[in-house]
Structure 1
Amino acid sequence: MNGKAKKAAAPRKKANGYKMPAPISVGEVINDTIGKKKWRIGPSIGVGGFGEIYSACEHDSSPKKGSSYPYVIKIEPHENGPLFVEKHFYVRNANKDDIAKFMKAKKLTTFGMPQYFGNGSHNYKGEKYRYLVLERYGKDLWSLFKESGRSFPPATVFQIGLQMLDVLEYIHSKGYVHADIKGANILLGLKKGTENQTYLLDFGLATRVNDKEFKPDPKCAHNGTIEYTSRDAHLGVATMRGDLEILGYNMLQWLVGELPWEKVLKQPKTVQTMKEAYMKNLKDAKKFADVPDALIKFLEYINSLKPKDSIDYTKCRQLFEGYLKSQGKTKNSKLEFTAAKKQKANKAVIEIDDGEDSDSENTDKAPKRKTKKDDVKPKRGRRAKQASPELVDEECENEEPDYSMEMVPKKTKKRKSAEPAVLVKVKKTKMAPKATPPAKKNHTNIATQTSVEKPKRSPRQVSFDSPICEVIGEKKTLKPAKNNESANSSGDIFEDSFTIDDKKVKKKRRLLLNEEVTVTRVVRKKVTTVKPKGRSYKDCPTIVNGRSPPK
């Protein structure tokens, strides 16, 4: 051990190139030298694209629960840039006096501009971080959008649009554009009296408007969240009309659930082309049945603007307020994110059609009526008896359910309606019995036939397993059965005693030539050479039978 302190692990990097801060323990105290305050970090709320967000409180207070932390602290490594941009935006544009002056001029009781409390730098385990202290808010609209089945009531959409127009007018008056308006960056108020006010946060992409001529910048092309990016931002230029266009895309998604280009988001140029085609022919936007004319006129007004034109916010407000008025709502009405629940299928009204199939005279005269509990709709399937214990169905044939049978309720409750009760009868149709397929080909299996298909037999008819017809009857050629009759081998009483198996016989080949051709086959045989055995002394002529020849 050399006695040196262990170096902290380097912050992890995300796919977008930004470093993510290491987790900071609960209770860490941040000293704000600028605001001369101390902040204590609470539990983490979430992770953004470039940093982490923690709940926070003043160091002097001691909250017992996480919900009692009234502030949030956004933290990112000092090398990152988005929080630096956001911090300077708040310092320059979130002055409390300026916001109060704007609210008074527009006669606003609530305003969707977030409140800023402090910023600075903080060292933690050898790493330097940048932080920003803001007021804490409630749920974001993107979470609510998914929870409500990807659809908001139209009145709610236009209420949020009006509130966002106020914020955009204030930002634009300061010479900035937001450039990243989306549901994840719009949060509900948490304090009492602000539950129906939405707040626009995350100014990490906020840009000062360029007063020079409109010139595309390929380096900044497609900035922002791709599904909502304006056509100007696709070219790399941030404009005020672009902010309105982004808001329009968000409102369109909240109304219909999905934007036309959401399936090709990995191809920014394709998305850009689709947006240009969509905005050129806005009358086609009416193919969405849930898009009010007020939103179409809002998008048409954006099309009429030039890049450097000043925006008529009063005209935009009139479009949105006119629609809310037609719905009996105002900008400050309660925000409802789920539509009225539809009646469940089991409580839905059942219509009874009195047609020619009815056997009762009363049903012919009775008009169509709607009932809830007295009329019961028969259920199909094997579980019909279990699902509706009050219903009794008649016997079935062949143990198969007959869906057209009459369903009669056992118990009937007193009807509140003064109209006479109507009994509906349906004709009972019997199912045609299904015959079991024969066990053998061309053979009628009498034992497994139903009573309907069973042919009438002579009492003298007998069946045998052996060909007795050769002994008793005349021997005749067997013929295949026709019209569901057995093959007969004689004219006697033995009719269905035998089985004929059809066998396919290959036809003989015909010779094309009469000449005979002799083919000689040459077979090569493997010849093995036998090595001569070695000579022995016994083979010597001088030795025969073990003896020397006589001289």
Structure 2
Amino acid sequence: MEPAGNSRRCRPGTRLARAQYPGGADDARAAPASEGAANRPARVIRFCPECRGRVQPSFHFCPYCGGSLPAGDAPEDRGSREELAEAAADGPGLKKREAHLCQGDQRKKAKCSTPGPSPPPSPSKSLESFKEQTSPGLPGKGKAMSVSDSETALSKQRFSLKLDFKNGRLFHEQNFFQRAVKPKEVEKWKKSHFLPFLAIPTCISFGLHLGDYRFMVFPDLGRSLQAVLDERPGHVLSEKTAFHILLRLVDALEFIHDNEYVHGNVSTENIFVHPDTPSQVTLAGYSCVFRYCPGNKHVAYVERKRTPHQGTLEFISLDLHKGIDPSRRSDMQALGYCLLKWLYGALPWTSQLSDTLAVMRNKERFMNNVAELMRQSCGQRKPPEALKTYLNAAMALQYEEKPNYGMLETVLMAALKELRVEPYDSISLLTV
């Protein structure tokens, strides 16, 4: 005897209330359990044409394989619907089909649950640089994952995918790109400063995945400068290469500062060079970005306002060691520490990085004695005049003071001219 309400029983293996598909006679439709269910709007399910992982209709990139998704109601989507319709008619055969379609979901769950070594890359896709690190936004409570060098199936272009918890540090980075790095404004700023390019990446896409994860997609950034240094004899750069890179980064920081933000974590790990664009350098890693001047009003100098020592310990400014909100001088001083390490391979506190307070005391001691900082870094070698000028200018900045970008750029251009190179010539990775 059937229960009241004319509800229908399902044969094992069929899923009548799974999904409804609008369209022709070949579309699979769910059998409603009641009159109200029959009037519900149809829910479209899309699948990646490459890995068959289930994706949301609004996604432009597959979160499982990194491939580009077809726009709109692509033929691949209709094909998936027809396959589901056939599977529904076949009964028990649906389970095999579902297991195939859910492989993408299983791979995603495996990545997000327990950290482990990534599978070996397939010939068609490169996931070479998969790594996991503790989320700066949620210390000790989760993982922030980044997958770089993922190759799209359709255009054969390479992209960098950043993934973090919804409320993690990636939120600040997304907000920065939405507010300050608008393509038209970037082009306008470049033209007004007569620059051929700017060392800031372009965000291709961003959004939420499964409601709990935030992602951002960038063009392939190449190799970090730290990776290049690790392969160099003595882990150093030539003066020509170091000043080339420094000039481009001063341009980038000026743009960021003009838009009321500071980078907050300038380090060699966040600077990238690419073999396909040897004239370009990219400053990435905006998870510590901070709006220092909201509404054209500079934030106040307050110690222990934030967690001390945030950022890359070797390069962060003394302000960040003390828990003070970063200002423009924080970026300029961190870049000065980077320059010293590029030229001489180490800083006076490089061997003490396991002792946070010792690093802080060293930076405090050298803040008013730049000559001693250079002496201990350079050893018996004579430091170039451009290095002296930059360090003296950066260390003398007051908390709210605007750096003299024009003076620094003039000094660096003169140094490059003495080295017989143009300011925006290509940087050969063979000599980096």
Q: Same fold (TM over 0.5)?
A: yes
Match of 1:52 among 141, 146, 156: 146
Matches within 5 A, 1:325-340: 325-336=417-428
Residue 37 of structure 2 is aligned to residue 37 of structure 1:
no
Alignment partner, residue 178 of structure 1: 263
Alignment partner, residue 254 of structure 2: 169
Matches within 5 A, 1:245-324: 245-284=333-372, 285-286=374-375, 288=378, 289=381, 291-324=383-416
What code does the residue aligned with 2:229 have?
F
Alignment partner, residue 139 of structure 2: none
Distance 1:90 1:57, change over 3 A: farther
Aligned residues: 303
Q: Please list the CA deviations of residues 235-259 of structure 1 after superposition, one character each: whole Å capped at 9, or x if unmatched.
A: 1220101100000000100000011
What code does the residue aligned with 1:101 have?
K
Distance 1:302 1:202, change over 3 A: same
Alignment partner, residue 209 of structure 1: 292
State the alpha-carbon separation in 2 of the partners of residues 209 and 215 from structure 1: 13
Residue 206 of structure 2 is aligned to residue 122 of structure 1:
no
Distance 1:29 1:186, change over 3 A: farther
State the alpha-carbon separation in 2 of the partners of residues 336 and 102 from structure 1: 27
Identity %: 24
Distance 1:56 1:26, change over 3 A: farther
State the alpha-carbon separation in 2 of the partners of residues 261 and 173 from structure 1: 32
Q: Unaligned stretches of 5+ in structure 1?
A: 4-24, 341-551
Q: Unaligned stretches of 5+ in structure 2?
A: 1-12, 14-49, 67-124, 134-143
SS class of match (1:197): strand
Distance 1:56 1:30, change over 3 A: farther
Distance 1:296 1:131, change over 3 A: same
State the alpha-carbon separation in 1 of the partners of residues 346 and 202 from structure 2: 32
Say whether the 8 Å CA contact 1:145–1:337 is kept in structure 2: no
Say whether the 8 Å CA contact 1:222–1:235 is kept in structure 2: yes
Alignment partner, residue 387 of structure 1: none
TM-score (normalised: structure 2): 0.65
State the alpha-carbon separation in 2 of the partners of residues 32 and 86 from structure 1: 24
Name the structure, 1 or 2, with higher relative contact order (CA <8 Å, separation 6+): 2
What code does the residue aligned with 2:154 have?
S
What code does the residue aligned with 2:60 have?
K
What code does the residue aligned with 1:314 have?
G
Residue 230 of structure 2 is aligned to residue 230 of structure 1:
no
Give the 4+ runs in structure 1 shifted more than 6 A.
none
Q: Which has the higher helix share?
A: 2
What code does the residue aligned with 2:288 have?
L
Say whether the 8 Å CA contact 1:140–1:185 is kept in structure 2: yes
Alignment partner, residue 145 of structure 1: 229
What code does the residue aligned with 1:37 have?
H
Say whether the 8 Å CA contact 1:32–1:38 is kept in structure 2: no
TM-score (normalised: structure 1): 0.52
Distance 1:337 1:133, change over 3 A: closer
State the alpha-carbon separation in 2 of the partners of residues 101 and 307 from structure 1: 29
Match of 2:278 among 179, 195, 199: 195
| RMSD of aligned Cα (Å) | 2.5
Matches within 5 A, 1:77-88: 77-78=165-166, 81-88=168-175
Say whether the 8 Å CA contact 1:82–1:205 is kept in structure 2: yes
Distance 1:221 1:32, change over 3 A: farther
Q: Please list the CA deviations of residues 57-89 of structure 1 after superposition, one character each: whole Å capped at 9, or x if unmatched.
A: 66xx536xxxx33322212233x5111111111
Larger Rg: 1
Distance 1:152 1:128, change over 3 A: same
Q: Please list the CA deviations of residues 354-405 of structure 1 after superposition, one character each: whole Å capped at 9, or x if unmatched.
A: xxxxxxxxxxxxxxxxxxxxxxxxxxxxxxxxxxxxxxxxxxxxxxxxxxxx
